[in-house]
Structure 1
Amino acid sequence: MTARSESPGRLARFFAERQDTRLAALLFIVLLAANIWLNPARFMPHNWGSVLGLAAPLLLASLAITIPFLAGRGSIDVSVGPLLGLINVIIVKGLIMTADVTSPLVIVPAALLIGLASGVLNGFLAAILRIQPIVATLATYLIYAGLALAILPSPSGSAPAWLTALAGPWSILPIGLAALVWLFVKRLPYYDLLMATGSDDRAAFTAGVNVPGVRFAAYLLAGFFAGLAALSLTALIGSGDPNIGPGYTLIAIAAVALGGVSLAGGVGGMTAAFLGAADIFLLQSMLTAFNVSTFVLQMAYGAVLVLAVCLNSEKLKRHFKARAAPR
């Protein structure tokens, strides 16, 4: 009796405490039920590893997109998608095909270090030099996309067995590592500084917070999570492909907006990013079951982005609260 009463209570507390992710959580339940009904075999327990492997690149890319958003004042990293593609081709072409290196002790640190290097570059441009983040990261977007094509003009190569296993039974490893890192970050004083900067950077600066340093660190974290996403992407496609990465940028932005991450900063986190990405993945899976073309999928992503931004608009929320208030 007690256990039964506590379960609904916990669920109610979740929706009460996480108002910004309420829509994404409800949509997740609906889309998951629809997908199980349409394709029950795919979502059987023995296939959960493969399903998570399919969703992992988007989950991790969404987390990478989220961190700069939290820093506020237009902080954004649109280079995440091409960075995934660049790391993918460096791993496959540079390490595996050219240097004949297949050890995880080399490949995993290399992917993470390239991601961190990108974070240093984007953070320097956007946070230290104070170039508009959209302009700075659009520049690196174009650089990464061009470098990937220069290194590997067309899809080729193959990933080692241990890496492709990250798209199957061991897909939980990169997701779990990302979750552990984020939970560790939340225990640090930096997390409070990040959210304070995103909520009101002027007040944070007045209080003595090193605002440029906080934003620089946000881009570093974004680069780290992008490195994990690139490993999951390489595991998923099992080869090098310079063209597949850029598509993740806009889908990840749509996912974090749907998850309830405020594009103005200071609201959101890993739960919101993962919920929004899971919703996008389940929506994609459901539409694919109906043999919907990729053009319609792109339209669906755009509609989701517009809907999410509108529903998370503070002005719209105040309007609905005013309409719902007793007269």
Structure 2
Amino acid sequence: MSAVVRSDRKGGDFGWARAAWQQAGFGPVLLVLLLAVNIAVNPARFAPGAWGTLIGLAAPLIGAALASTPAILGGRGGIDISVGPLMGFINALIVLVLVQRLGIETPWIIVPAAVLIGAAVGAGNGVLATVLRIQPIVATLGTYLILIGITLTILPAPTGTVPAWLRALGGPLSILPLTAVFLAWIAIRRLPYYDHLMAVGSDDRAAYTAGIPVTLVRFLSYVITGAFAGVAALMMTALIGSADPSIGPTYTLMAISAVALGGVSLAGGRGGLLGAAIGAIDIFLLQSALTYFNLSTFVLQIAYGVVLVLAIVLTALHERLLGRAKETA
């Protein structure tokens, strides 16, 4: 009986830790370490009173990581590298077309427009990757180049301003669009679609045999990724307060690194938005620490590359340890 009690107590006391480990891997550990380093070297910036500003600074990266996650969960190498350029494209359309040329400043038009444009581009990626069965990274690379080209054509240099309500989302209120994304994901998790997505990402052949519409499930994952990228574009626009054609693409590799650091399997079928958000915060904290020491942008690029490799290695190690835990269970 004592053995049973110990087993139940272990599951009851540490079940939350086991669930966090399965979902986010090494991400929370890195979060604690990097937060401790940042507080030690720059306590003023990370004082509780400054957290609102920090959330606003980190929000676009967190949004980009959240947007990248659904397509990756769908498996078959569904890494959408067009998320960053899509954010920049939507940023240009909002400021240059809606605000400057058409004089539209109401959130009731701007917000739905950003989400719908993102979903439309995501649907295009979905057709290329799932219907035409082009390798996802190749398909989204084409979209990446097209979006950058269009953005630079209509917006060669930074310009414009944003409405006051949108600028306000660049600070503590950036938690509102982030919360909206999580609420949308919670709603998706309650649908049969979520189980289908994870099944397709884990083993698409078994899912097809079980009667799951694999192509439709993967197609919708790209649509969701595009819609979430539209929300991330709003947060980026709020942060910079204008239209800038050069900023969006910088989020591409950092977002993918964040997803991997957050324990989301790049092979699909495991992970979630919470892990991706933790990974994004990890990269933001690393960026803050390196910036504090006045390191050059070249060193930052090297650091991002190292983080990407480290994230992939840690994800592989995480999957191996989970596999061993299942074998011994």
Question: Is this a same-fold pair by TM over 0.5?
Answer: yes
Contact 2:263 2:318 (C-alpha < 8 Å) held by counterparts: no
Looking at structure 2, the residues matched to 221 and 250 of structure 1 have their Cα atoms a distance apart, in angstroms, of 19
Contact 1:15 1:22 (C-alpha < 8 Å) held by counterparts: no
Structure-to-structure mapping, 1:275-290, within 5 angstroms = 275-290=278-293
Answer yes or no: is 1:169 the counterpart of 2:191.
no
Structure-to-structure mapping, 1:34-73, within 5 angstroms = 34-73=37-76
Structure-to-structure mapping, 1:267-306, within 5 angstroms = 267-306=270-309
Q: Which residue number in structure 2 is paired with residue 17 of structure 1? A: 19
Looking at structure 1, the residues matched to 137 and 324 of structure 2 have their Cα atoms a distance apart, in angstroms, of 33
Looking at structure 2, the residues matched to 23 and 155 of structure 1 have their Cα atoms a distance apart, in angstroms, of 38
Q: Which residue number in structure 2 is paired with residue 211 of structure 1? A: 214
Q: Which residue number in structure 1 is paired with residue 248 of structure 2? A: 245
Q: Which residue number in structure 1 is paired with residue 5 of structure 2? A: none
Answer yes or no: is 1:221 the counterpart of 2:219.
no
Q: Structure 1: give runs of 5+ residues left out of the alignment.
A: 1-7
Contact 2:262 2:277 (C-alpha < 8 Å) held by counterparts: yes
Contact 1:58 1:252 (C-alpha < 8 Å) held by counterparts: yes
When residues 131 and 289 of structure 1 are mapped into structure 2, their CA distance, relative to the original with a 3 A threshold, is same
Looking at structure 1, the residues matched to 13 and 313 of structure 2 have their Cα atoms a distance apart, in angstroms, of 25
Which of 137, 152, 156 lines up with 1:153 in the alignment? Answer: 156
Answer yes or no: is 1:130 the counterpart of 2:121.
no
Contact 2:25 2:315 (C-alpha < 8 Å) held by counterparts: no
Q: Which residue number in structure 2 is paired with residue 33 of structure 1? A: 36
Task: In structure 1, give the amino acid aligned to 2:19.
Answer: E
Contact 1:311 1:317 (C-alpha < 8 Å) held by counterparts: no
The Cα of 1:230 is off from its aligned counterpart by 0.1
Q: Which residue number in structure 2 is paired with residue 84 of structure 1? A: 87
Contact 2:31 2:281 (C-alpha < 8 Å) held by counterparts: yes
The Cα of 1:316 is off from its aligned counterpart by 8.2
When residues 319 and 258 of structure 1 are mapped into structure 2, their CA distance, relative to the original with a 3 A threshold, is closer
The Cα of 1:9 is off from its aligned counterpart by 8.9
Answer yes or no: is 1:139 the counterpart of 2:135.
no
TM-score of the two chains, using structure 1 as the length reference: 0.92
Please state whether the residue corresponding to 2:160 is helix, strand or coil.
coil
- Report the aligned-residue RMSD: 2.1
Looking at structure 1, the residues matched to 322 and 123 of structure 2 have their Cα atoms a distance apart, in angstroms, of 41
Looking at structure 2, the residues matched to 262 and 140 of structure 1 have their Cα atoms a distance apart, in angstroms, of 23
Structure-to-structure mapping, 1:170-185, within 5 angstroms = 170-185=173-188
The Cα of 1:234 is off from its aligned counterpart by 0.3
The Cα of 1:169 is off from its aligned counterpart by 3.0
When residues 205 and 148 of structure 1 are mapped into structure 2, their CA distance, relative to the original with a 3 A threshold, is same
The Cα of 1:75 is off from its aligned counterpart by 1.3
The Cα of 1:319 is off from its aligned counterpart by 12
When residues 196 and 245 of structure 1 are mapped into structure 2, their CA distance, relative to the original with a 3 A threshold, is same
Q: Structure 2: give runs of 5+ residues left out of the alignment.
A: 1-9
Contact 1:68 1:218 (C-alpha < 8 Å) held by counterparts: yes
TM-score of the two chains, using structure 2 as the length reference: 0.91
Answer yes or no: is 1:200 the counterpart of 2:203.
yes
Task: In structure 2, give the amino acid aligned to 1:92.
Answer: V
Please state whether the residue corresponding to 2:169 is helix, strand or coil.
helix
The Cα of 1:320 is off from its aligned counterpart by 11
**Percent identity over paired residues:** 58
The Cα of 1:160 is off from its aligned counterpart by 1.4
The Cα of 1:314 is off from its aligned counterpart by 5.5
Looking at structure 2, the residues matched to 23 and 59 of structure 1 have their Cα atoms a distance apart, in angstroms, of 17
When residues 319 and 233 of structure 1 are mapped into structure 2, their CA distance, relative to the original with a 3 A threshold, is closer
Of residues 282-291 and 101-110 in structure 1, the stretch that sits farther from structure 2 once superposed is 101-110
The number of residue pairs the alignment matches comes to 316
Looking at structure 1, the residues matched to 185 and 258 of structure 2 have their Cα atoms a distance apart, in angstroms, of 18
Q: Which residue number in structure 2 is paired with residue 4 of structure 1? A: none
Task: In structure 2, give the amino acid aligned to 1:145.
Answer: I
Looking at structure 1, the residues matched to 75 and 121 of structure 2 have their Cα atoms a distance apart, in angstroms, of 20
Q: Which residue number in structure 2 is paired with residue 5 of structure 1? A: none
